[in-house]
Chain A
Amino acid sequence: MKITFDWLKDHLKTNLKEKNLLDQLTNIGLEVESVESPSTENDLFKVAKIIKTQKHPNADRLKICDVNVGQKKLIKVVCGAANAKVGLITIYAPPGAIIPKTKTKLVEAKIRGVTSYGMLCSESELNLSDESDGITELSEKYEKSIGKSYFLKSKSNLIDLSITPNRPDCLGVRGIARDLAASGFGKLVNLKKKKLKSKKKQTLKIKINREKNQGCTAFGSCLITNVKNTESPQWLKDKLISVGQKPISAIVDVTNFVMLDINRPMHAYDADKIAKGIIVRNSKSGEEFKALDNKNYKLESGMCVISDHKGVLGLGGIIGGTRSGTEFNTKNILLESAYFDPRSIRNTAKKLSLDTDAKFRFERGIDPLSIEEGLNKAASLIKKICGGETSKIDIQKNETYKKDTIKFDINLFEKISGVKISTTEMIKILVELGFKVKKNRNNFQLTIPSWRPDITQEVDVVEELIRISGYEKIKTINPIKERTKSTLTQPQKLFHFLQRSIASKGYLEAITWSFTDSNYNDHFKGSNKEIRIVNPISSELGVLRNSIFSNLIMYLNKNLDRGFKDLSIFEIGPIFVGSNPGEQNTVLCGLASGKKSRLSWIDQERILDVFDIKKDVVQTLVEAGYNSEKFYIDNEVPDYYHPGKSGRLFLNEEKKEVAAFFGEIHPGILKKIDIKTESLLGFEIFVDNLKLPKKTLNNQKKKFIASDYQKSERDFAFIIDKNLSSQDLIKTISSINKNLISNIRIFDVYVGDNIPKDKKSIAINVTIQSNEKTLNDVDLENINKLIIKTVENKTGAKIRS
């Protein structure tokens, strides 16, 4: 909402300065977004006329215009607007001018080889309207202003307020003045209500259809005959320009003025173009009309339309139609001032994707009692400027507005705000805001002003009181440092532990979008189904990610393109398995690429392999408190892993929920997404699948057992089936005697000469130690034999001699 202090003073008597005003506006919740001085910069924008145009030699869409800017010489300006034609009066900005919308300073520039000395501006570039299609078109009346500054010198700064959606009343200058007055910033000027005096009846018949869900409850109108629509007088033009509006014609300007002044949107019809009378009704499916934005709209059923006997004239409270619009030659006009239901306005506008100033106001709620005031004000102004005769005001109603009342418990104010103010002070504030207050012993009986649809219950009154008396009155009560519940749950602790654990292994943490490119997602979605976003910001971010790999690989690739090698990155966050709330899992996902010890003077460089990534996964899980001796690993993995060089890890042999996948990313995918690295390994740890250990780490630590008896080591070499996993071999040995066998290490794996083709040789080092005694040679020999016998029996292996 744009205002000036000058306009405010029409409604507010005050001696205070603008500086105080800005602070006070913000203090009462009417946030000042920006203040623009009407600086001399705007003087540079001149009224100008295009005298000659020719096609740009190097660009089809550009024209070179010779422009009269009031100087002897014509100025050459390159312009791309379709409406730039000979004879058009428009607005010219010379080099040095600062374009209000973009805040960029114009310079003399060559455009495709032709120098442009400034530019011709669109309304949007000048912040006059949102119209960015083509350059500004001024009426012929501006002919005599050529060379003069377009913007009039205004004394008052332009103050842009951010009005919250609950305050429609502050979309009018008077509403803002009322709030300011209540807060002690001056006095609200009491306006004499000008009533139209007329004996003439409004002869155009108006009817609101009585039907279900009719969005219009009241339709006020006034017929003004024999007007001469003209340009607005200077004071009105100045007023509109001072808040960034573009004057059009007196009739339009007056309705705009009334809307800005008291937030009463109105509409003016050319009465001669209305066939017989007006019917306010619900639209029928398929009805069409051309709106004032020059677009055709096809309506669904049930939209509130203003129609005549020929068809739709406009969408009530949203936009008028071209068929009945006023022009300079309009003779008789019908002024509309109606009440439209916010819900109906919102539904219609949403369905048609229409956003207009009127819609913005009606959907927030217009004062239902302002219908007559608006008509009086607008009609008398039009009569004054354009002459003519006004009719009596006609108001058709389907419903009569009833004022709401609420009972307000006086003590509630202090209970909620923590602030004490006197009852007298409360009453003063409420009365100045327009409430009618009847004081009882402990409560007020309040009648809510018709312009405050936001106030429906007691707490809304608390807000009014604290807002106007000032938030700075709220005391700061320091918090008590006390904790009754632990801050994090066990799963949350695990999340944070895993995050830092993997980072400590050289992985950089990334945070990427929860959505991704479906082309990438397809590679990694596994058995999950694709989840589409109905309205993505771009097709590259069109689906929720089924895996973190899609984004991670895309970004890793970007970094490789930047020339970085041997990168490891990870992300911990959600993946989505369905489109319902909760159908998501937390995954710790990482990628490692390239080589170890690249270009090292001391170490042999080597390509990263699956056992590097396996180490990171296992170590992280071990650090998090899981026992790696219980881990069970097989190679059933999703199809985005290399089928031979990857694994699936369970926390134990029960194989209930997958704890992690790890391995080389499938070479086929690397090829498809064209990623160039010596190696690419990935892992996914499914955080939600990690069963929390029954005992906390704290409990596990309590019992400490260490054997002081001598330990012995024995080496074995077995020849076993190639398909037998070393995991089975180790598990077989460790299960022989958990009390004596304390450590098993594989120190060699051999396939080749001297070994049958379908076999491999595995060399194992076993540590044997007892908690009870030092083992003698006989004991050791026995366990040796037992190991060999058990392994041979259970796995079909042969000890290598």
Chain B
Amino acid sequence: MSDLKKLKEEFLLKLTEKLDLSEINQIKSDLFGKNGLISLQFKKIGSIDETERKKFASELNVVKDELQELINSKINQIQNAEINQKLDKEKIDITLPERSFVRGKIHPVSQTIDEISSIFSEIGFSVEEGPDVENEYNNFTALNTPDNHPARDMHDTFYLDEKKQKLLRTHTSPVQIRTMLKDKPPFKIIAPGRTYRSDSDQTHAPMFHQVEGLHIDKNINMGHLKGCLNYFIKEFFEVDKIKMRFRPSHFPFTEPSAEVDIGYEMKDGKIVIGEGNQWLEILGCGMVHPNVLKNVKVDPKKFQGYAFGIGIDRLAMLKYGINDLRAFFDCDYRWLNHFGFDPLDVPTNYRGLSR
């Protein structure tokens, strides 16, 4: 057995023992230190006979690699064991609760307004606004509802003066008037906002939300109205099919006027919008009355179109299964938390309106 082989066997044996880091480092320096056994062998190469030299050198390299690798892996093992031991000591109960966080929420009415705007945005409507306090003219007279009109009785109005000239708007329709007075036709707007009527019971709140729609152009007829609402309802309730019924009604500011019902059925005590064989009234609409157009200096011979008004709170109730209108404004923390939406859930068309 050559010296080299002996050396190798000897150290391989040594390295099988249980060693600590310093012992291994000692071995390392015994072998590869400046005067280590392997290092010395390398120094010998020059003095070896040329015929033997190549073979020796190659054998030496093999031995060197083998020992070096073993030593390194031993060192690694020990270091890993040490780290693991340290980490083991640092172990904590990871099931303890995280640092507390709070979640804010968006009110379902705000969310619904964003959904509505997103839908109408797709078909070219822009959003208009008007003040909550209105004058009698914009809220009634301009909308073809003169003082002696019985339709005024249907609006229980909050007044701000004894002469009944200033009031809280009873619908969002005065925004139609303001918009048309401000600009020139065509008009294609929606106007969501707060509205007020002085009745209050289980199904009525003194304040509620409406969205007004108005589309005036040269040849807009009842077919466009039907198409627009059909599109809206389908998109809003995120259903493929919707059953919709137009039925004649009366509003002073539209002629002809219609109320719109949608089909629904009850499933497990919940309203399911879509097919079904029961009808639910959800909005009023019609062709803008020529008198209204005249009042805002739009020529009814040249321009015509439709308007509609939808109860936002009611839409939200139907879509999200909320039973009590009054709860919208009761500000109960539990309710807001339950029915509210994450602020990052912004309704968009590409992501869909709701998750």
Chain A residues engaging chain B, CB cutoff 8 angstroms: 26-29, 31, 164-167, 342-343, 346-347, 363-364, 415-419, 457, 459-460, 462-463, 466-467, 471-472, 474-489, 492, 496, 499-515, 531-537, 541, 544, 551, 555, 558-559, 562, 564, 566-569, 573-574, 576, 579-584, 597-598, 600-603
- 1/0 per residue, CB under 8 A from A, across B156-172: the answer is 00111110101010000
CB-defined contacts of A532 to chain B, threshold 8 Å: 160
B106 lies within 8 A of A459 (CB): no
Selected contact of B133 from candidates A487, A579, A601, CB within 8 Å:
A579
A504 lies within 8 A of B151 (CB): no
B250 lies within 8 A of A476 (CB): no
Task: Name the distance in Å between B105's Cβ and chain A's nearest Cβ.
Answer: 5
Nearest B residue to A482 via CB reads B124
Selected contact of B256 from candidates A467, A579, A598, CB within 8 Å:
A467
Number of A-B contacts (CB under 8 A): 257
Task: Name the distance in Å between B257's Cβ and chain A's nearest Cβ.
Answer: 7
CB-defined contacts of B224 to chain A, threshold 8 Å: 418, 477, 479
Q: Given A342-B148, A463-B257, decide whether A500 and B126 contact each other with a Cβ distance below 8 A.
A: no
Does B336 sit at the interface, judged by CB under 8 A?
yes
A471 lies within 8 A of B258 (CB): yes
B248 lies within 8 A of A467 (CB): yes
B151 lies within 8 A of A535 (CB): no
Does B230 sit at the interface, judged by CB under 8 A?
yes
Nearest B residue to A467 via CB reads B248
B333 lies within 8 A of A508 (CB): yes
A482 and B109 alpha carbons, distance in the complex (Å): 27
The interface-forming segment of B5-13, B41-49, B96-104 is: B96-104
23 A-B residue pairs with Cβ-Cβ distance under 8 Å, sorted by A, are: A31-B247, A165-B150, A364-B150, A459-B289, A479-B124, A480-B123, A481-B124, A482-B123, A483-B121, A487-B127, A500-B106, A501-B343, A504-B343, A506-B103, A511-B109, A511-B110, A511-B331, A512-B331, A514-B132, A533-B160, A537-B198, A597-B100, A603-B100
Task: Name the distance in Å between A687's Cβ and chain B's nearest Cβ.
Answer: 12
B135 lies within 8 A of A581 (CB): yes
A479 lies within 8 A of B228 (CB): yes
CB-defined contacts of B120 to chain A, threshold 8 Å: 487
Nearest A residue to B197 via CB reads A537
CB-defined contacts of B133 to chain A, threshold 8 Å: 544, 576, 579-584
A534 lies within 8 A of B329 (CB): no
- 1/0 per residue, CB under 8 A from A, across B134-149: the answer is 1100100000000011
B106 lies within 8 A of A417 (CB): no
A466 lies within 8 A of B256 (CB): yes
A466 and B304 alpha carbons, distance in the complex (Å): 17
A28 and B248 alpha carbons, distance in the complex (Å): 6
CB-defined contacts of A483 to chain B, threshold 8 Å: 121-124
CB-defined contacts of A26 to chain B, threshold 8 Å: 247
Q: Given A471-B248, A481-B123, A483-B124, decide whether A507 and B222 contact each other with a Cβ distance below 8 A.
A: no
CB-defined contacts of A580 to chain B, threshold 8 Å: 133, 166
A597 and B161 alpha carbons, distance in the complex (Å): 50
Nearest 9 A-B pairs (CB), nearest first? A29-B248, A506-B102, A164-B250, A418-B223, A555-B331, A503-B104, A418-B221, A463-B256, A503-B343
A580 and B136 alpha carbons, distance in the complex (Å): 11
Task: Name the distance in Å between A647's Cβ and chain B's nearest Cβ.
Answer: 23
Task: Name the distance in Å between A426's Cβ and chain B's nearest Cβ.
Answer: 15
A471 lies within 8 A of B247 (CB): yes
Nearest A residue to B244 via CB reads A476
CB-defined contacts of B199 to chain A, threshold 8 Å: 537
CB-defined contacts of A598 to chain B, threshold 8 Å: 100
CB-defined contacts of A514 to chain B, threshold 8 Å: 132, 168, 194, 196, 207
- 1/0 per residue, CB under 8 A from A, across B279-323: the answer is 000000001011000000000000010000000000000000000
CB-defined contacts of B343 to chain A, threshold 8 Å: 500-501, 503-504
B132 lies within 8 A of A347 (CB): no
CB-defined contacts of B100 to chain A, threshold 8 Å: 597-598, 600, 603
A457 and B117 alpha carbons, distance in the complex (Å): 35
Nearest A residue to B159 via CB reads A534
Nearest A residue to B344 via CB reads A504
A478 lies within 8 A of B227 (CB): yes
CB-defined contacts of A363 to chain B, threshold 8 Å: 148, 150
Q: Given A479-B231, A580-B166, decide whether A509 and B99 contact each other with a Cβ distance below 8 A.
A: no
Q: Given A463-B255, A484-B124, A535-B159, decide whether A509 and B194 contact each other with a Cβ distance below 8 A.
A: no
Task: Name the distance in Å between B55's Cβ and chain A's nearest Cβ.
Answer: 57
A509 lies within 8 A of B158 (CB): no
Does B51 sit at the interface, judged by CB under 8 A?
no
A86 and B148 alpha carbons, distance in the complex (Å): 48
Does B275 sit at the interface, judged by CB under 8 A?
no
B106 lies within 8 A of A472 (CB): no
CB-defined contacts of A477 to chain B, threshold 8 Å: 221, 223-224, 226-227
Does B36 sit at the interface, judged by CB under 8 A?
no
CB-defined contacts of B105 to chain A, threshold 8 Å: 503, 508-509
Selected contact of B158 from candidates A467, A535, A573, A603, CB within 8 Å:
A535
B255 lies within 8 A of A459 (CB): yes
Task: Name the distance in Å between A663's Cβ and chain B's nearest Cβ.
Answer: 21
B221 lies within 8 A of A534 (CB): no
A342 and B146 alpha carbons, distance in the complex (Å): 12
B227 lies within 8 A of A479 (CB): yes
B337 lies within 8 A of A508 (CB): yes
A416 lies within 8 A of B231 (CB): no
CB-defined contacts of B245 to chain A, threshold 8 Å: 472
A463 lies within 8 A of B246 (CB): no
A640 and B231 alpha carbons, distance in the complex (Å): 49
A562 and B231 alpha carbons, distance in the complex (Å): 43
Task: Name the distance in Å between A698's Cβ and chain B's nearest Cβ.
Answer: 18
A467 and B246 alpha carbons, distance in the complex (Å): 10
A510 lies within 8 A of B107 (CB): yes
Q: Given A417-B256, A514-B196, A531-B160, decide whether A584 and B132 contact each other with a Cβ distance below 8 A.
A: yes
B247 lies within 8 A of A166 (CB): no
Selected contact of A508 from candidates B159, B287, B336, CB within 8 Å:
B336
Q: Given A29-B247, A559-B331, decide whether A488 and B127 contact each other with a Cβ distance below 8 A.
A: yes
A478 lies within 8 A of B231 (CB): yes
CB-defined contacts of A602 to chain B, threshold 8 Å: 96, 99
A581 lies within 8 A of B166 (CB): yes
A321 and B132 alpha carbons, distance in the complex (Å): 43
A217 and B108 alpha carbons, distance in the complex (Å): 55
A28 and B224 alpha carbons, distance in the complex (Å): 21
A569 and B257 alpha carbons, distance in the complex (Å): 41
Nearest A residue to B330 via CB reads A555
CB-defined contacts of B226 to chain A, threshold 8 Å: 474-477
Q: Tell me the residues in window 174-212 of chain B with beta carbons closer than 8 Å to chain A beta carbons.
A: 188, 194, 196, 198-200, 206-207
Nearest A residue to B122 via CB reads A481
CB-defined contacts of A485 to chain B, threshold 8 Å: 124, 126, 188
Task: Name the distance in Å between A568's Cβ and chain B's nearest Cβ.
Answer: 7
Q: Given A508-B336, A579-B133, decide whether A27 and B247 contact each other with a Cβ distance below 8 A.
A: yes
A603 and B219 alpha carbons, distance in the complex (Å): 67
A415 lies within 8 A of B107 (CB): no
Task: Name the distance in Å between A510's Cβ and chain B's nearest Cβ.
Answer: 5
A581 and B164 alpha carbons, distance in the complex (Å): 13
Nearest B residue to A414 via CB reads B221
A416 lies within 8 A of B222 (CB): yes
CB-defined contacts of B332 to chain A, threshold 8 Å: 558-559, 562
A583 and B131 alpha carbons, distance in the complex (Å): 8
Which of B107, B125, B134 counts the most A-chain CB atoms under 10 A from its CB? B107
Known: A26-B247, A537-B200. 9 other contacts (CB 8 A): A29-B250, A347-B148, A415-B304, A471-B258, A479-B231, A512-B331, A514-B196, A569-B336, A603-B99
A467 and B340 alpha carbons, distance in the complex (Å): 42
Task: Name the distance in Å between B350's Cβ and chain A's nearest Cβ.
Answer: 13
A471 and B158 alpha carbons, distance in the complex (Å): 35
A535 and B333 alpha carbons, distance in the complex (Å): 30
B207 lies within 8 A of A513 (CB): yes
Task: Name the distance in Å between B207's Cβ and chain A's nearest Cβ.
Answer: 5
B221 lies within 8 A of A459 (CB): no
Selected contact of B104 from candidates A460, A502, A535, CB within 8 Å:
A502
